[in-house]
């Protein structure tokens, strides 16, 4: 360990060291994934000994859980704020939700890469699927109110919320890697499909090919 790293270790307070380890872990998890990152690599990058990581987080799993939880809360906060700002206008809500997720992907690329990776074995939270479910829960009541206004069954709102959020999240990952379109254009196309699809919804949809058999 370099003399500067040793000096840094002694100068940092406990909260400062914890924050530093979170930032280092976030960077490594985004670059190498959970399985590809070791306690040794994290400690070396942070300029500390391995026991320091165990002292603060109990191990790599604990550090990963904190990193993921922070990312989820940040993303949910952005989407909730966007929805609250435009409550009452269904089209504006849809646009705001799409832009909030794309903004997060754009400005918190490392965080998004961590969230779309698989969770560690045995961990039931923090997966991309659970994140999608959490976000969808935030918009269920908004969709339900819109469904009632359009005389559609509000009980189906949770299903449509899952579909809408997933429809934004998956293309968002594609856009992160390709960057072939402007962010606003991606959001506009997503809203185009979702909004025009919602506008033509049937009250009691059926599978037409099944009905013929």
pLDDT recorded at residue 88? 65
Are 93 and 83 in contact, with CB atoms under 8 Å apart?
yes
Q: Rounded to two decimals, what is the model's pTM?
A: 0.75
Where does the chain show beta strands of DSSP type E? none
Q: Which residue has the higher pLDDT, 50 or 119?
A: 50
pLDDT recorded at residue 55? 95
Once rounded to an integer, what is the mean pLDDT over residues 13-18? Answer: 92
Q: How far apart are CA 185 and CA 6, in angstroms?
A: 48
**Residue ranges of domains in the chain, CATH in brackets:** 66-200 (1.10.357.10)
* Tokens at 10, concatenated: 């002694």
What confidence tier does 7 reach under pLDDT thresholds 50, 70, 90?
Answer: very low
């Amino acid at each position: 360990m370099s003399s500067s790293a040793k000096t840094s270790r002694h100068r940092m307070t406990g909260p400062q060291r914890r924050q530093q380890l979170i930032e280092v872990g976030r960077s490594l998890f985004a670059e190498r994934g959970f399985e590809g990152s070791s306690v040794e690599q994290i400690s070396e990058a942070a300029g500390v000994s391995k026991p320091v990581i165990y002292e603060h987080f109990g191990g790599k799993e604990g550090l990963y859980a904190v990193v993921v939880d922070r990312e989820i809360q940040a993303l949910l906060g952005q989407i909730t704020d966007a929805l609250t700002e435009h409550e009452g206008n269904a089209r504006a809500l849809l646009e705001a939700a799409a832009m909030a997720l794309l903004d997060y992907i754009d400005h918190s690329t490392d965080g998004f890469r961590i969230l779309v990776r698989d969770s560690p074995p045995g961990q039931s939270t923090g997966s991309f699927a659970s994140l999608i479910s959490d976000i969808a829960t935030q918009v269920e009541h908004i969709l339900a109110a819109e469904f009632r206004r359009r005389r559609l069954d509000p009980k189906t709102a949770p299903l449509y919320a899952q579909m809408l959020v997933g429809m934004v999240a998956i293309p968002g990952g594609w856009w992160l890697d390709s960057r072939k379109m402007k962010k606003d254009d991606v959001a506009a196309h997503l809203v185009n499909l979702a909004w025009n699809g919602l506008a033509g919804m049937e009250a009691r949809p059926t599978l037409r090919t099944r009905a013929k058999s």
